[in-house]
């Protein structure tokens, strides 16, 4: 079975969490999606790149979630979610590529 890229797991948490909350009207369901994907991504980041990288990327993931709220007031909800998701997925993909190249 092919491994799902960690960047995709993180993107699923951010986009899926927002989409779930918006479409169901239940913020706690969106939070559950966000938390589950975030925990899975953090676990994989730690295994693939080490604890320090996992802490940094998890902090970025949480910061992106928090930062998307004030950004949404300026550019809209979906553009905000997509923008912060792009930052997190790029950082995750670049970190994976950098650690894979150093082995």
Q: Cβ(7)–Cβ(92) under 8 Å?
A: yes
Angle at which helices 27-49 and 77-101 cross, to 10°: 20
Residue 1 lies in a domain: no
- Tell me the whole-structure pTM to 2 decimals: 0.89
Cα 57 to Cα 45: distance, rounded to the nearest angstrom = 8
Q: Is residue 44 part of a domain?
A: yes
Residue 103, in any domain of the structure: no
| Displacement of CA 46 from its chain's centroid (Å) | 14
Number of domains in the chain: 1
Do 83 and 63 meet the contact criterion of CB atoms below 8 Å apart? no
Domain ranges, residue 62: 8-98
The answer to whether position 20 is within a domain reads yes
The contacts of residue 1 (CB under 8 Å, 6+ apart) are none
CA atoms lying within 13 Å on the CB side of residue 78: 4
pLDDT in tens, the chain (103 residues): 458 999 999 999 999 999 999 999 999 999 999 999 999 999 999 999 999 999 999 999 999 999 999 999 999 999 999 999 999 999 999 987 666 655 4
């Amino acid at each position: 079975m092919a491994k799902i890229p960690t960047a995709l797991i993180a993107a699923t948490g951010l986009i899926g969490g927002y989409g779930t909350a918006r479409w169901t009207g239940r913020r706690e369901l969106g939070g559950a999606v966000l938390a589950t994907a975030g925990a899975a991504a953090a676990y994989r980041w730690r295994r693939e790149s080490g604890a320090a990288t996992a802490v940094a990327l998890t902090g970025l993931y949480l910061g992106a979630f928090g930062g998307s709220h004030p950004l949404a007031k300026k550019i809209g909800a979906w553009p905000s979610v997509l923008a912060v998701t792009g930052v997190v997925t790029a950082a995750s993909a670049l970190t994976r590529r950098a650690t894979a190249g150093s082995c």
